Amino acid sequence: GEDVEQSLFLSVREGDSSVINCTYTDSSSTYLYWYKQEPGAGLQLLTYIFSNMDMKQDQRLTVLLNKKDKHLSLRIADTQTGDSAIYFCAESSPSNTGKLIFGQGTTLQVKP
Amino acid sequence: GAVVSQHPSWVICKSGTSVKIECRSLDFQATTMFWYRQFPKQSLMLMATSNEGSKATYEQGVEKDKFLINHASLTLSTLTVTSAHPEDSSFYICSATPSSAATDTQYFGPGTRLTVL
């Protein structure tokens, strides 16, 4: 079945890089997404990657996709306290319904 | 671009009453919108897929008569929690996919905190 797994918690110091990892099960997913959720708010789309790409970079964000291992990562360079939030990875459902399959979310704590 | 609003942002109601939550795509048209429920410190649980001009598709275990969804236009979907009870208290989030999009990208609203007394 479709399943997306993430580690639940990551703590880093301000200025360091953060790497949030995600594994997924469905190799037919077309797109994979990273969303950020701040307390009491909705989800903010950070970036997405097409499944035939290996890497995508957008300012401080780098997404790496290892399709063979079904592993997705989000690297945040020069992590700031404002980056503290919950990060969700998601894969597009292969059922072509437009649904997204979300991971449990990784809470990123940035210490000053 | 791709802004989604929800109204109200929070609501407190008495047990047994009905509550309507609106989800609007402000700068794009959305044939498909989604309604999620999120419990504290948990991931999103998809409740239903809202399709403009047709009936919503509900996920397994979600009561369609309790959670009424109406998608009357390409920019508005509503979720009505009927005869609300304390166990319906939750954070409800909607999302929308632009009709013109080539991807399944969903843009999320800010959420509605429902508290049922």
For B87-109, how does the pLDDT look when each residue is reduced to its tens digit (9 = 90+)? 999 999 999 999 887 788 999 99
- Which pLDDT does position B104 carry in this prediction? 83
Task: Give CA torsion, residues B24, B30, B31, B35, to 10 deg.
Answer: -50
> Cβ B108–A42 below 8 Å, yes or no?
yes
Q: Which residues of A touch B (CB under 8 A)?
A: 30-31, 33, 35, 40-45, 48, 88, 92-93, 97-100, 102-105
Distance from CA of B13 to the nearest CA of A (A): 19
Q: Determine the pLDDT at residue B115.
A: 97
How remote is the C-alpha of A32 from its chain's centroid? 8
| A10: closest CA of chain B, how far (Å) | 15
Q: Which two tokens stand for residue B15?
A: 């047990």
Closest to A42 (Cβ–Cβ): which among B97, B105, B109? B109
Which residues in chain B show pLDDT less than 70?
A: none
Q: How confident is the prediction along chain A (112 residues), in pLDDT tens digits per residue?
A: 568 999 999 999 999 999 999 999 887 778 999 999 999 899 999 999 998 899 999 999 999 999 999 999 999 999 999 999 999 999 988 777 889 999 999 999 999 9
Q: Rounded to an integer, what distance in angstroms lies between the CA atom of residue A75 and that of residue B10?
A: 34
A76-81 contact pairs (CB < 8 A, 24+): A76/A17, A76/A18, A76/A19, A76/A20, A76/A108, A77/A17, A78/A15, A78/A17, A79/A12, A79/A13, A79/A14, A79/A15, A79/A16, A79/A17, A79/A18, A79/A108, A79/A110, A80/A14, A80/A110, A81/A14, A81/A110, A81/A112
pLDDT of residue A2: 65
CA distance A93 to chain B (A): 9
